[in-house]
Structure 1
Amino acid sequence: MSRSPARIAHDRAVDALRAQLVAQPDGSPIRLAKPTSNLFRFREPPPANALDVSAFAGVIDIDTAAGTADVGGMTTYENLADATLARDRMPHVVPQLKTITLGGAVAGLGIESSSFRNGMPHESVLEMEILTPDGDVVLARPDNEHRDLFRGFPNSYGTLGYALRLRIELQPVKPYVSLRHVRYSDAAACAKGIEEACATGSGEAADFVDGTVFAGDEMYLTLGTFSDQAADVSDYTGQRIFYHSIRDRVTDQLTVRDYLWRWDTDWFWCSKALGAQHPVVRRLWPRRYLRSDVYRKIVAFDRRHQLSARVGRLLRQPDREAVIQDIEVPVERLAEFLEFFDAEIGIRPVWLCPVRLRESHGWPLYPMEPGRLFVNVGFWATVPLGPGQPDGTHNRLIESKVTDLGGHKSLYSDSYFTEDEFWLRYDGETYRKLKQTYDPKGRLPDLYAKCVGNR
């Protein structure tokens, strides 16, 4: 078959990247030179010899008839969505933040309000072209000799290799999404509402389901459905703030693009801590900078220079612990988790997102039970430490509770598991076999070293 100019350029970029990697001395650490990150395990900037992967940030081909796209692994979902929406298509799951990359969402997992129906981003991947640490490029599919890598790549966080090209399934879209915000006065009722919405859409077929908890007696499910027409389209990309509208409106309508990025403009609600929701600041803040990657750079600068911590010490305030996590618990244990969370942590608001694996076989490094409905709970803030409490106190408490409830924890942020605890939760036996096969020289850190040791 003839290759398109975009595919020819991609293949040349693969050869150039392999040459970069092979030229590095044996034993030298491998890092990617990426301009953005959505991880909250802050590391030192990549070294001068970091691999240049900028050539893999683009859509190679969209086949509307087949309902598929070939995409570079470093392509952001913002660019991917723009390319596919122009063809009236979108990925099955589009994570909430614009600069999450497709390869990052597959290697590090992702979730959104379509996940109750479509699972996670890696479940709509048909094949992956993966650069291994020794410089080989393998094509991993669910039915070929690299099927174990295909199944073990999700939740490997770049410790087995890097996805250079992925072929993914797409779904048709309509121009608008109509929203309905349903209020619940307690967590048990909300959990039951989630089960009903994910089964029947509360009387209508829901395309999207997520939720927001403002208080123990004030929580909302937002049910979204595709629509061909809209009488009055809202805009939350400027002065208006999406999460405020959940409390103020029963129904709403957005363009499909604005729906996909409804949380990005204010980083859910975290922009408030940076002053971006103050009315005066909001009017002066350029609209193009109301986005999650800008806020994360501000937080990274603050972390690097310890500005907030220094001010807190000058004001004699207690030390604070960053509690930035996403966890999943079975829907029937959601109320129990939220009760614990209110009593021990106290962060508000929190985000709820139901998820059910699309595939019946499961994925070894993030062993959720297929067919079972879980609810992702996302919370991103700091909490004060009590006298004598070390940093990590609250995160360890959450890790323990989630395990007790039969749940899981995402690894994009700080983790405090012991090594034995970690491998028990994330299938150490399967991981070690994959590591020996695809990185026998240990040129990349293992999953525990990267996600807990922050290497």
Structure 2
Amino acid sequence: MSLRGWTAHEAAVERLRSSYARIPAGSPVRLAKKTSNLFRPRAATSAPGLDVSGLDGVIAIDAAARTADVQGMCTYEDLVDATLPHGLIPQVVPQLRTITLGGAVTGLGIESTSFRNGLPHESVLEMDVFTGAGEVVTCRPGPDGEHSDLFDAFPNSYGSLGYATRLRIALEPVPAYVALRHVRFDDAGLLAKSIAQIAESGSYDDTRVDGLDGVAFAPGEYYLTLATWTERGGATSDYAGQRVYYKSIQQQETDLLTIYDYLWRWDTDWFWCSGAFGAQHPLVRRVWPRRWRRSDVYHKLLGLDRRFSIADRLDRRAGRALRERVIQDIEVPVDRLPDFLDWFDGAVGMRPVWLCPLVAKRDWPTYPLEPGRLYVNVGFWGTVHVGPEAPEGPRNRAIEGRVHELGGHKSLYSEAFYDRETFDELYDGDNLAAVKGRYDPQDRLTSLYDKAVKRR
């Protein structure tokens, strides 16, 4: 992959400014893009948006300093293609290829290195943000950092404070391979204690752990996958072919992947969600083109289902109860993980679910996890037959309440139902409003509450 370069970047930013100038005064400002990794409804609009063409690449890599300057619309797939030849990767690489750098920072990305490196925004050294006032400001962290108030509030703001045009991020060195060990647990309490011990020591059975995540397949069947970076090669597994990665966790205790295949091990089958389209059936998989075994392809298929209500029509024809989409990622303190899993089994009953430990390095006001405290992200993505009340989101509302009771938080990439008072309490609404007022005085950008909760 060729680097975009500073001159091309500056030209793309100028096109962005020009597109802002063409939006009528008082009209909402939003990106002119058709694709998204979000799962909450967005209102269709024919109004002009911000031109982000040319803001989807890597500007420069400093291999000696282990940093990269990256445009906000650059996907992690393209970034990894640029950094891996240098033996480097971002400190956190979210699981899906088409997640963008700007999206992972203004939203919340996560992956198996998050137990030691935090979330993607914690490896950002500085960033340029295009604000609702039509200005590009360079933000840096720390008490003396320029525009540090915007830098601090930006994570979890989902475009309500502006859009990142450039991010300078820290990279880490990696070898060619990743050795995996899948460890089964029958007890959720022991699972949680083991996660805590690994996060504290950085090892398991005297073996270094560089990546840590897991899967809860059923009550009493939990696995942690321990990843160790290694230069020791050998026969590697290929989960972009006929085999399905998540099934291998139950089938074998150890595995070896290239670092590239490890980074995208979940993308090929969108964790396990590709099964809804038949892509895991051996006969279908043989004729399903390899290049189409990707999360963005499945996302488009899901969009067609939602557009034409295909699943709902089939359910009605078969006499099945109406479905509620339960697509969420939540974080709870590690010691409350058994409580949440036990409650989730009874109240929702969806399995498998993904488990990913994380530790925030510092306080981030718009997603205030306690710094230094170990949390576990629980990801669940599917539907539940609930009946005529499905449009009201009863399962999603119950999840929000339970997560709040357990001292956790919920990501906002999907549907949310909080009332305004609770939302502001959980996501530091007063500070968010104050920062927005400073950088978007004409209120051109949609507020976070309106984006995440209000139906439009």
Interval of TM-score (by shorter of Structure 1 and Structure 2): over 0.9
Moved more, 316-325 or 48-57: 48-57
| Residue pair 1:31, 1:47 contacting (<8 A) in 2 also | no
The corresponding residue for 2:127 is 128
Identity %: 57
Deviation by residue 1:93-115 (Cα, 9 ceiling, x = unmatched): 00000000000000001100000
Q: State the alpha-carbon separation in 2 of the partners of residues 7 and 389 from structure 1.
A: 50
After superposition, where does 1:27-42 map in structure 2 within 5 Å?
Answer: 27-42=26-41
SS at 2:397's partner residue? helix
The corresponding residue for 1:332 is 335
Q: State the alpha-carbon separation in 2 of the partners of residues 248 and 230 from structure 1.
A: 21
After superposition, where does 1:382-397 map in structure 2 within 5 Å?
Answer: 382-386=383-387, 391-397=392-398
The corresponding residue for 1:402 is 403
Q: Are 1:206 and 2:209 counterparts?
A: yes
Moved more, 178-187 or 19-28: 19-28
The corresponding residue for 1:290 is 293
1:144: Cα distance to partner?
A: 2.8
Which one of 256, 272, 276 corresponds to residue 273 of structure 1?
276
The corresponding residue for 2:159 is 158
SS at 1:329's partner residue? strand
Paired residue type of 2:39:
F
Paired residue type of 2:255:
D
Deviation by residue 1:266-304 (Cα, 9 ceiling, x = unmatched): 000000011111111111100000000000011111111
> Structure 1, unaligned stretches of length 5 or more?
none
After superposition, where does 1:210-289 map in structure 2 within 5 Å?
Answer: 210-289=213-292
1:5: Cα distance to partner?
A: 7.5
Q: State the alpha-carbon separation in 2 of the partners of residues 327 and 109 from structure 1.
A: 11
1:420: Cα distance to partner?
A: 0.8
| Residue pair 2:322, 2:388 contacting (<8 A) in 1 also | no
The corresponding residue for 1:446 is 447
> Structure 2, unaligned stretches of length 5 or more?
none
Paired residue type of 1:259:
Y
Q: State the alpha-carbon separation in 1 of the partners of residues 455 and 8 from structure 2.
A: 34
Deviation by residue 1:172-203 (Cα, 9 ceiling, x = unmatched): 01000000000000211111111122122212
| Residue pair 1:31, 1:46 contacting (<8 A) in 2 also | no
SS at 2:213's partner residue? strand
Task: Note closer, same or farther for the CA distance 1:388–1:288 as it changes in structure 2 (3 Å cut).
Answer: closer
| Residue pair 2:12, 2:53 contacting (<8 A) in 1 also | no
Paired residue type of 1:215:
A
The corresponding residue for 2:358 is 355
Task: Note closer, same or farther for the CA distance 1:306–1:124 as it changes in structure 2 (3 Å cut).
Answer: same
Paired residue type of 1:103:
G
Q: State the alpha-carbon separation in 2 of the partners of residues 221 and 36 from structure 1.
A: 33
When the two chains are superposed, the root-mean-square deviation of aligned CA atoms in Å is 1.3
Q: State the alpha-carbon separation in 2 of the partners of residues 300 and 43 from structure 1.
A: 12
Equivalenced residue count is: 450
1:390: Cα distance to partner?
A: 5.2
Q: Using structure 1 for the length normalisation, give the TM-score.
A: 0.97
Q: State the alpha-carbon separation in 2 of the partners of residues 427 and 144 from structure 1.
A: 21
SS at 1:283's partner residue? helix
The corresponding residue for 2:192 is 191
1:51: Cα distance to partner?
A: 1.8
1:313: Cα distance to partner?
A: 1.1
1:47: Cα distance to partner?
A: 2.8
After superposition, where does 1:136-147 map in structure 2 within 5 Å?
Answer: 136-142=135-141, 143-147=144-148
The corresponding residue for 2:322 is 319
Q: State the alpha-carbon separation in 1 of the partners of residues 117 and 369 from structure 2.
A: 14
Q: State the alpha-carbon separation in 2 of the partners of residues 335 and 403 from structure 1.
A: 15
Q: State the alpha-carbon separation in 1 of the partners of residues 453 and 335 from structure 2.
A: 29
Deviation by residue 1:130-169 (Cα, 9 ceiling, x = unmatched): 1111211100111333000000000000011100000000
Q: Are 1:170 and 2:145 counterparts?
A: no
Q: State the alpha-carbon separation in 2 of the partners of residues 384 and 450 from structure 1.
A: 27
Task: Note closer, same or farther for the CA distance 1:31–1:428 as it changes in structure 2 (3 Å cut).
Answer: same
Q: State the alpha-carbon separation in 1 of the partners of residues 174 and 125 from structure 2.
A: 20
| Residue pair 1:356, 1:372 contacting (<8 A) in 2 also | yes
SS at 2:5's partner residue? helix
